[in-house]
Structure 1
Amino acid sequence: MKLKFIAVLFFISTSITIAQTKQILIENVRLIDHKTAALTEPMNVLVSGQIIQKISSSAIAVNGLDIVKINGNGKTLMPGLIDAHVHMVFGSLTMAQMMAPNTSEEALINSVGISAQQMLMRGFTSVRDAGGPIFPLKLAIDKGKIAGPRIWPSGATISQTAGHGDFRTPDERSRRFFGKPSRAEQLGATFIADGRDEILTAVRENLRFGASQIKLMAGGGTSSAYDPIDVTQYTLDEMKAAVEAAEDWGTYVMVHAYTPRAVQRAVEAGVKSIEHGQMLDEETLKLLAEKNVWLSLQNLMDNHDNMDEQRKEKRKPVLDGQDKVWPLAKRLGVKLAWGTDFLFEPELNKDQNSYIVRLQKWFSNAEILKMITQDNGELLQLSGLRSPYPGKIGVIEENAYADLLLVDGNPLKDLSLITNPEKNFLLIMKNGHVYKNTIKIKK
């Protein structure tokens, strides 16, 4: 469809605007040292353009008039938060809104644009979009028309018939037999692709539009109507086709899967990132560790009262598996990433930061902060040359992207600080641009 983005206004609490000054010197801040799990001594950080140019415990000499100085007053400067599994479009809309035939494009995009701005103001400067019609939103953000996080886009999910990405309504029949694509396919939400040839075409179509990685549905899901949670989706040959097409473009395949059988098949096919996996056993987790495959997990909330009964039943083994898989994967040395995966429940978005704190059940504050910044950043850059932002993210290092948060307090000691970004995030910077600053500046 032809998406027409409307401008979204967003609040900036200083005179610094998107037309950013060339250099910003942030003085007297403490950084998180992951080697010691402690804050550093007071440091000074010079941002030049999009990157961190210099970090020093000594005064940084700057010359010229086009410089802004911000006194951090000993607060904590940390990398922007990263969510490794979001659906920027699906997470901003209900299923009824997404599929309603009379919903206007303008209303849909307005909702998604506002949601993207709110996500940035919660401190999320980068996300990996795990499927959906994302390319127009990403373009609008990159051009500065809408405020939002950096987006690593997957494009339309790729699903077999009766798979987790088969969103057809009961009256929509198979495109292969009846010749008409479903509305979800027309919206760019999914490709229903069966057989090696169709999968190759679907992967290449997403890459043509700018996908940084490919999202394949390899097992049953809780939010889809046709597939039980236990089913394995796509044959080994079909999955290998997707992996080969992605690798030819220098990137990788991520798969939706919960069960050992689905995940083991995906690993055999060469998949690099497993999304979900709450039902995995020790044997499969050992395989992930051995093969250096990422496990991109979520910590889901219990079912709520207004959830469909069928979905509640399908979610039960996933929810039951969380307490086992997180600590076991950690003990076995699996490469772990974290994401929220809010889907068709836009009321959850405001709780995005709170889901981070729920990881304290299995991890220390230092481990959590590393996971939601440095580790998630490493996963996102697995896209290699297909990454839309080739610089280093998730760290405060010289020559890394200037995606920064100034926190009023020490999150190593009190992780709950990040659950109230409106109060505790004094500065929000993405790509060297200041989107929020409540500290007096000097020029």
Structure 2
Amino acid sequence: MCQACFAPSSANGRLHFCHCGTPETLAAMRRIEADISRRQMLGGMSAVIGMFAGFGLAPRELRAQTAGRPLLLTNLRFFDGETLSIRGGNDILVRDGRIAALPAPGQGPEDAERIDCGGRTVIPGLIDTHWHTTLVAVSQLVAMTQEPGFVHLVAGREAGATLMRGFTTVRDVGGPAFALQAAIDRGVVEGPRIFPAGAIISQTSGHGDFRFANTLPKMPLDPASYPEAQGMAAIADGVPEVLRRTREQLMKGASQIKIAAGGGVASQYDPLESLQFTEAEMRASVDAAADWGTYVCAHVYTSPGIRRCLAAGVKSIEHGQLADEDTVRMMADAGAWWSIQPFLADEDANQYTDPKAVAAQTAVSEGTVQAFEWAQKHRVNWAFGTDILYGGGESQARQLAKLARFMSPLEALHRATGAAGELLALSGARAPYDGRLGVIAEGALADLLVIDGETDTDLSWLADSGNLRLIMKGGRVVKDSL
């Protein structure tokens, strides 16, 4: 309020009121505030882009079709992501970011810009259904203690590397990925499409509780812990708190919700076999997600934990390598999805010295081999994921190649393309992108890879990103070494 609001009138000594509260004045103030906000936003965006430029992450010129002119990929064979065979006798026409048609050679539009694939194989862009975009490239210590700006800048750099490995889409299942998703979608940095879950929702002492024991007990007026404040985890105990934390992630833009329903291999406090969240708590999250047309996925390894998840309506089991065969049958009967990671205690695995962690890792490794067998035997819906945390992102494609130990190369590729796209579709209207992913079909989003390699005989070509001769995301060519 201005000083004149109660100033005495020079004419009669009475108090008089100014026009601060009139509709005209308020409208003018809103216009001024909007202009100030716009200027601050533009200045802030310039600063952010400048920071990214310092990391080599400034927006780069990408090859894209001329406005109104389609792209036509010719002289190729292709794997469509669904049928376990390599097809020939078609070109791939791309228009407005989508696959417009699969015309016979020579039948494409005359005005199309042509890309000769040299007889190579074209496959859909790869999908990792268990990824942590913000936490993959830093150590746990850095993630939990360093400036958020640094963590996110490193995540931006890793996002570009992820795309260059041929992964055009990832499902983020825990971490503050919303800002990175926005930066990628707006062209500030390069990276894959992100289906974000936001913070991992965890009970106290659960797999998503990253606090140290010396910070307990937490009292009602205590501030959020650093991992909670940064959006890495959300601690919830009881149905009302689970509802609140689930709805917070939905408000932020989560395409699916991630809960921790059991312990982890190297968790400091929660044993691997521990059960986390009651069925009522899980169901609260499931119901809140369903109200928004999406679903809940759950970190869990053991049969009792998986069964509780299924009873509560969880749609996607993350890990699950210690499931027994009856539980696998239950997953198939429930129509649940299984996101399986090739945890094989090999050269790419995390290294542990604690005997309990080593024993747990061994059990999970043995269970992984069994999981692939039972998933195939009982026809469970399952998709490929990696769950790489705190370094080691460069092994992402190698992890996919390991599936060829358990199935045909094309079946393995199907689990990282067409099957993974079906899992992503569970997000319904909450999906950030409008269109099918993981397939080469009319109307699908044009995420394509042109590769040097025999996809129907082996997956060794995945070990060298140089074998990806062309990478296209949404109709834009982001790499071309043809």
TM-score (norm 1): 0.92
Q: Residue 42 and residue 176 in structure 1: after superposition, are their counterparts in 2 closer, same or farther (change >3 A)?
A: farther
Residues 168 and 193, structure 2, Cα contact 8 Å, conserved in 1: yes
Query: What residue in structure 2 maps to residue 379 of structure 1?
Result: 423
Q: Residue 170 and residue 19 in structure 1: after superposition, are their counterparts in 2 closer, same or farther (change >3 A)?
A: farther
1:270-327 CA-partner distances (Å, limit 9, x unpaired): 0100000000001100000111101111011417685342533432321221121210
Q: How far apart are the structure 2 equivalents of 1:105 and 1:328? A: 42
Residues 294 and 336, structure 1, Cα contact 8 Å, conserved in 2: yes
Query: What residue in structure 2 maps to residue 325 of structure 1?
Result: 371
Q: Residue 430 and residue 35 in structure 1: after superposition, are their counterparts in 2 closer, same or farther (change >3 A)?
A: closer
Q: Residue 62 and residue 255 in structure 1: after superposition, are their counterparts in 2 closer, same or farther (change >3 A)?
A: same
Tell me whether 224-233 or 171-180 shows the greater mean CA deviation.
171-180
1:231 aligns with 2:274: yes
1:49 aligns with 2:96: yes
Give the gaps of 5 or more residues in structure 1: none
Deviation at 1:410, TM superposition (A): 2.2
Deviation at 1:418, TM superposition (A): 2.0
Secondary structure (helix, strand or coil) at the match of 1:238 reads helix
Q: Residue 223 and residue 177 in structure 1: after superposition, are their counterparts in 2 closer, same or farther (change >3 A)?
A: farther
1:297 aligns with 2:340: yes
Residues 339 and 383, structure 2, Cα contact 8 Å, conserved in 1: yes
Determine what percentage of the aligned residue pairs are the same residue.
38
Q: How far apart are the structure 2 equivalents of 1:264 and 1:395? A: 32
Query: What residue in structure 1 maps to residue 382 of structure 2?
Result: 336
Q: How far apart are the structure 2 equivalents of 1:208 and 1:36? A: 38
Q: Residue 131 and residue 245 in structure 1: after superposition, are their counterparts in 2 closer, same or farther (change >3 A)?
A: same
Q: Residue 35 and residue 149 in structure 1: after superposition, are their counterparts in 2 closer, same or farther (change >3 A)?
A: closer
Query: What residue in structure 2 maps to residue 284 of structure 1?
Result: 327
1:94 aligns with 2:139: yes
Q: How far apart are the structure 1 equivalents of 2:147 and 2:64? A: 30
Query: What residue in structure 1 maps to residue 76 of structure 2?
Result: 29
Q: How far apart are the structure 1 equivalents of 2:371 and 2:108? A: 50
Q: Which has the higher contact order (CA 8 A, sep 6+)?
A: 1
Q: How far apart are the structure 2 equivalents of 1:281 and 1:88? A: 31
Q: How far apart are the structure 2 equivalents of 1:20 and 1:271? A: 45
Amino acid corresponding to residue 201 of structure 1 in structure 2: R
Tell me whether 349-358 or 164-173 shows the greater mean CA deviation.
164-173
Of 265, 274, 286 in structure 1, the residue corresponding to residue 317 of structure 2 is 274
Query: What residue in structure 1 maps to residue 397 of structure 2?
Result: 353
1:183 aligns with 2:223: no
Q: Residue 36 and residue 16 in structure 1: after superposition, are their counterparts in 2 closer, same or farther (change >3 A)?
A: closer
1:177-222 CA-partner distances (Å, limit 9, x unpaired): 4522111001110000000000001000000010000000101112
Q: How far apart are the structure 2 equivalents of 1:35 and 1:392? A: 12
Where does 1:5-404 land on structure 2 (aligned, <5 Å)? 6-7=51-52, 9=56, 16-17=62-63, 21-22=67-68, 23-32=70-79, 37-64=84-111, 67-100=112-145, 103-177=146-220, 179-302=222-345, 306-309=351-354, 310-344=356-390, 346=391, 348-404=392-448
Q: Residue 149 and residue 58 in structure 1: after superposition, are their counterparts in 2 closer, same or farther (change >3 A)?
A: same
1:393-417 CA-partner distances (Å, limit 9, x unpaired): 1000011000000012321123111
Q: How far apart are the structure 1 equivalents of 2:141 and 2:252? A: 27
Q: Residue 34 and residue 125 in structure 1: after superposition, are their counterparts in 2 closer, same or farther (change >3 A)?
A: closer
Q: Residue 61 and residue 260 in structure 1: after superposition, are their counterparts in 2 closer, same or farther (change >3 A)?
A: closer
- How many residues were matched structurally? 430
Residues 12 and 436, structure 1, Cα contact 8 Å, conserved in 2: no
Give the gaps of 5 or more residues in structure 2: 1-43
The structure whose Rg is larger is 2
Tell me whether 115-124 or 328-337 shows the greater mean CA deviation.
328-337
TM-score (norm 2): 0.85
Residues 94 and 101, structure 2, Cα contact 8 Å, conserved in 1: yes
Q: How far apart are the structure 2 equivalents of 1:10 and 1:59? A: 39
Secondary structure (helix, strand or coil) at the match of 1:69 reads strand
